[in-house]
A = this chain, B = another copy of it.
Amino acid sequence: LLMEVEKLNNDPAVHAILVQLPLPSHIDEAVILKAIAVEKDADGFSALNIGNLCLRGGDPPLAVPCTPAGCIELLKRYNIPISGKDCVVLGRSNIVGMPVAHLLQAENGTVTVIHSRTQDIPEKVGRADIVIAAIGRTEMVRGEWLKPGAVVIDVGINSKEDATRKRGYRLVGDCNFDECAAVASAITPVPGGVGPMTIAMLMKNTVNLARHSLGLEPLPLGA
């Protein structure tokens, strides 16, 4: 697999590489992911890309992690202002919580990152204009937690027992959708909300890596 990645790294006809995870247990994921050239890192997960995402005013990252980028793209396409807004991110994962917090901050949002050790989570969520839920807990966020009119992006994908379904479960987010939809001014459904955006952003990253290889500026988020 390492040799295959190396071959793709060196092939000028290939602009972007994504290794589908999880890998079989005998393969070290970190070693494989680190082997991908930063110029072809379609996920934008490499430490160099993340550093450039977090640093203000330096080189822009060549690719932006797809799910966080999808959240920002959604807010921009729906003309939801971020600047000066209080944003709460539930979850501090490398692939969603941490990068989306930086993207919101880069848009001049005031960001609080909530995690398993955080005290008084409902109260903190209740102060937010924008809530990004990416903490992986089934329907954790309740409608009564939200500030009326808050904007909610639900990144969670959890399976919940449902005897009415043939497969015995259905997919739900980190938010109790019906409760939250009654209080929020806008909310993404699960499934069919952030998921398709993630895939679209993967395409955008691929285009931007190809543009980079040609010396062109990247396409910005929300455009």
| Chain A residues within CB distance 8 Å of chain B | 30, 46-52, 54-59, 83-84, 86, 92-94, 98, 102, 105, 108, 110-115, 117-119, 124
Contacts and interface: CB of A to CB of B under 8 A. Distances in A.
16 contacts: A30-B58, A47-B51, A47-B52, A49-B51, A50-B54, A50-B55, A51-B51, A51-B52, A55-B94, A56-B92, A56-B94, A58-B94, A83-B117, A86-B119, A110-B112, A110-B124
A108 B113 CA distance: 10
A41 B56 CA distance: 19
A123 to B, nearest CB: 9
A38 B56 CA distance: 19
Contacts of A94: 55-58
Contacts of A58: 30, 47, 94
B113 A92 contact: no
Contacts of A119: 84, 86, 110
Nearest to A93: B56
Contacts of A55: 47, 50, 94, 98
A105 B94 CA distance: 13
Contact of A54 (B57, B59, B86, B98): B98
B117 A113 contact: no
Given A48-B48, A59-B47, A111 B108 contact: no
A30 B108 CA distance: 24
Contacts of A117: 83-84, 108, 110
A54 B56 contact: no
